[in-house]
Structure 1
Amino acid sequence: MPEKTLKVGATATPRHVLVVDDSRAQRRILALALTRGGYKVTEADSGVSALALCQETCFDIVLSDWMMPEMNGLDFCRSFRALPREGYGYFILLTAKSEKGEIADGLDCGADDFLAKPVNPDELRARLRAGERILGMQSELVQKNRLISATLDELQKVYDSLDRDLIEARKLQQTLVRERFRDFGRGEVSVLLRPSGHVGGDLAGFFEINAQRIGVYSVDVSGHGVASAMMTARLSGLLSGSSPDQNVALMRGEFGEKDAHPPEVVAARLNRMMFNDIQVEQYFTLAYADINLRTGNVQMVQAGHPHPVLIRDSGEIEYIGSGGMPIGLIPSAEYERVEATLGPGDRLFLVSDGVTECPSPLGEELGEDGLSKILQANLAMGSSALLEALVWDLSAHFGGEDFPDDVSGALFLLKN
């Protein structure tokens, strides 16, 4: 063979080549050329001995004769491909065969390339160069996959940490509404609060204004997730019954008695706070009712929230209000008062759009008609049981319990 170098690209560690041929002379010719080219070479005189070597060493390139006793090149190639190994092994068959069907058999067995015997040095160099490219790309791919795997492991750790934090955040958010039910004597309030994710942007609750009046509210902050949950935490403080001095609805009357701003004024005050104090990109919808327990008179404001629902003791359902502008959307927004009168046994339901806009598997929203049917079907139940039944019926409508939006509301009952 002419004195020609076979180097095709310097590497930190020489490629390890296994030369398999039952002809000692052929092995030596190939081994000498490969050694001069900078390769590390191991020889095997049969497919059986070569396979035994491959079980102990991961060779980068294999040059194997096709026609050998005991185990021919095709069988050896097939067995070589079946061995467990970390990296790829480039397999070149040495053969005098040139029929297309025989070449196809070699490819089916896992061979990457062919060299005609007797081996031409220039052709050998070209085949090895092709193998080097494949092995290089495979090595880069393995390294990238390892990097991706390591990155995914780190991301999983971060996700697990965030997941634990969100679980704790959900527990804390649930404590924002300390009471889910209270009996005020002449009336009672039940609260429903079910986030769609770890934390939600809905809030519902109530507070005492004085011995004869209570405030009931339902809030839906735009968006989902942590930012919305933080806003509900802020609003919870602004509508808290346990901290009257911070409650934006409460005030002292002319003679120092406990009183409250009219509902439309409460909405306007919250709107100003969103632009002047809180200053975030979010907004929220609100339904707030000032209820007189003695007379049943209700003064409300609807700020972009779904229409408040009057559930008469007779079973009649009324939707009141005219919509209104959400809080924090327009600085100069004005809000109108809505009034209604409750009789004994009547209920007022302030509900979020997570209920009315809940879709069916076909994408059909529940809507006000669907909500009315649920309420009428469960009219005989107490308030807390009615809210629980609402969730069950909503799950049946949606086809599951993982609702796409927060489900919340506050239900007031004026007693007989």
Structure 2
Amino acid sequence: MQHRLRVLVVDDSKAQRMMLGMSLSRWGYEVTEVASGEEALAACATVSFDIILSDWMMDGMSGLELCAAFRGLEGEGYAYFILLTSKSEKAEIALGLEAGADDFLTKPVSLDELRARLRAGERIVGMHKELTQKNQLLATTLAELQRTHSMVDRDLIEARKLQQTLVRDRFRDWGRGAATLFLRTSGHVGGDLAGFFELNTTHVALYSVDVSGHGVASAMMTARLAGYLSAAAPDQNIAFQRREDGSFKALPPEEVAARFNRTMLEDLQVDQYFTMAYAQVDLSSGAIALVQAGHPYPMILRKNGRIDRLGAGGLPIGLLADAVHERITARLNPGDRLFLLSDGLTECPSRTGQELGEAGLEAMIRKNRGMESSQLFDALIWDLAAHMGSEEFPDDVSGLLFDYRG
């Protein structure tokens, strides 16, 4: 059943109230009559009226004062306010509008004109109620979204803590060489991974991985890849192959890349791919064997300050079934350093949008080459923030630095 609009008639003339009240009741309105502005305010405190018809000139509180007082009441209630007046000057009408009146009717009141003004008021009141309902729905929905966002935010914080545990050791010293890692995600969770593990008593594996995309999906893939490169579980590590006697042998880098490629396309069958630099280092001789699969160029910072880029680009892992990754060889001399870094550094934009690039990264490395590895990484982050003009990097920034002592 449709709600009957409530109309409040305010007039100190009983005859005028009766005349208006009878017409309004006949038209289907629910009518309340009061004889003063003070009574009107008291009635509005307990009843929500849709339309108020008030005489301008009354003993005590005038209709103009009533209108201003009514608009000042607290709450979301709205009523279409019509002033009944014999005033027709523009200045007087302006006063009424400033007090909050919506419309005016000249006395004596024409019932036809009154009914037309009431219908206009009904439309305004209806639109206001509809807007109020939509605002309430919007507020409820926003509150629910905020609760959901808070829950997701808490979950992402926990996910970040778990992701940090994927790389428990940020530094490892084997005597003849040492590896230092750093990882800085651009959001709660990231798609970069860097790490190391021992292949045997004389060889170590070093890797830097960057999964395509951002967010939870990339982080989940990163966690999966960390399992494939786990030092604690050689039977699950994709870099090892079990011999018939139960022992494990280390596969060459190009075969590690091939096995990863098959795993992504045949076993995981996801839309994601990743870039990777994977290196095996002989601690006794400094010999390096590595593959570059779409990752930024691995770099050797020589003791004399020269920087050598390794590789020729290569295809990312998980894009093409017949992708071939060739072995790249090099040799470290005592005092040399091997860098495996993600594209979060080289592709970091400046204030004008220009990427840092390989040349810019090499300049930063040369500038800070006299520092210890952990301090050098800190310096790279500071210089990268100065290049960009912000510490909120658009992509994950990660990498590995291997110091060879020989």
TM over 0.5: yes
| Corresponding residue to 2:2 among 3, 11, 15 | 11
| Corresponding residue to 1:387 among 377, 384, 396 | 377
The answer to whether structure 1 residue 316 and structure 2 residue 306 are counterparts is yes
Unaligned ranges ≥5, structure 2: none
Conserved 8 A contact 2:287-2:329: yes
Residues 62-211 of structure 1 mapped to structure 2, 5 A cutoff: 62-211=52-201
Determine the structure 2 residue equivalent to 1:353.
Answer: 343
Single out whichever of 272-281 and 83-92 deviates more from structure 2: 83-92
Determine the structure 2 residue equivalent to 1:410.
Answer: 400
| Corresponding residue to 2:353 among 356, 359, 363 | 363
Give the whole-Å Cα distance in 2 for the aligned partners of 1:338 and 1:353.
20
RMSD of aligned alpha carbons: 2.0
**Which residue identity does 2:138 align to in structure 1?**
I
SS at the partner of 1:245? coil
How far is the alpha carbon of 1:408 from its aligned partner?
Answer: 0.6
Single out whichever of 138-147 and 184-193 deviates more from structure 2: 138-147
**Which residue identity does 1:347 align to in structure 2?**
R
Cα deviation per residue 1:228-268 (whole Å; 9 max; x = unaligned)? 11111111111111111111112357998754222122111
Give the whole-Å Cα distance in 1 for the aligned partners of 2:317 and 2:298.
17
Cα deviation per residue 1:291-345 (whole Å; 9 max; x = unaligned)? 1111111111111111111111112222221111111111111112221111111
Single out whichever of 202-211 and 22-31 deviates more from structure 2: 22-31
How far is the alpha carbon of 1:286 from its aligned partner?
Answer: 0.5
Conserved 8 A contact 1:180-1:190: yes
**Which residue identity does 1:40 align to in structure 2?**
E
Conserved 8 A contact 2:50-2:80: yes
Single out whichever of 35-44 and 285-294 deviates more from structure 2: 35-44
| Corresponding residue to 2:363 among 373, 388, 400 | 373
**Which residue identity does 2:345 align to in structure 1?**
V
Cα deviation per residue 1:374-398 (whole Å; 9 max; x = unaligned)? 2122212221221122222222322
| Corresponding residue to 2:266 among 276, 284, 293 | 276
The answer to whether structure 1 residue 328 and structure 2 residue 318 are counterparts is yes
- For these two proteins, the number of residue pairs brought into alignment is 406
Change in CA separation of 1:219 and 1:311 when aligned onto 2, cut-off 3 Å: same
Change in CA separation of 1:346 and 1:258 when aligned onto 2, cut-off 3 Å: farther
Give the whole-Å Cα distance in 2 for the aligned partners of 1:69 and 1:304.
88
SS at the partner of 2:369? coil
SS at the partner of 1:219? strand
Conserved 8 A contact 1:87-1:139: no
Determine the structure 2 residue equivalent to 1:243.
Answer: 233
Cα deviation per residue 1:149-188 (whole Å; 9 max; x = unaligned)? 1122222222111111111111111111121110011100
Give the whole-Å Cα distance in 1 for the aligned partners of 2:256 and 2:220.
21
Determine the structure 2 residue equivalent to 1:24.
Answer: 14
Single out whichever of 387-396 and 230-239 deviates more from structure 2: 387-396
Determine the structure 2 residue equivalent to 1:37.
Answer: 27
Give the whole-Å Cα distance in 1 for the aligned partners of 2:145 and 2:242.
53
Taking structure 1 as the reference length, what is the TM-score of the superposition? 0.92
Unaligned ranges ≥5, structure 1: 1-9
Conserved 8 A contact 2:49-2:79: yes
Cα deviation per residue 1:255-292 (whole Å; 9 max; x = unaligned)? 98754222122111111111110100000000111111
**Which residue identity does 1:244 align to in structure 2?**
P
Determine the structure 2 residue equivalent to 1:224.
Answer: 214
**Which residue identity does 1:129 align to in structure 2?**
R
Cα deviation per residue 1:105-132 (whole Å; 9 max; x = unaligned)? 3323221122222222222222111211
**Which residue identity does 1:44 align to in structure 2?**
V
Give the whole-Å Cα distance in 2 for the aligned partners of 1:401 and 1:317.
27
**Which residue identity does 1:373 align to in structure 2?**
A
SS at the partner of 2:188? coil
Give the whole-Å Cα distance in 2 for the aligned partners of 1:81 and 1:317.
75
Taking structure 2 as the reference length, what is the TM-score of the superposition? 0.94
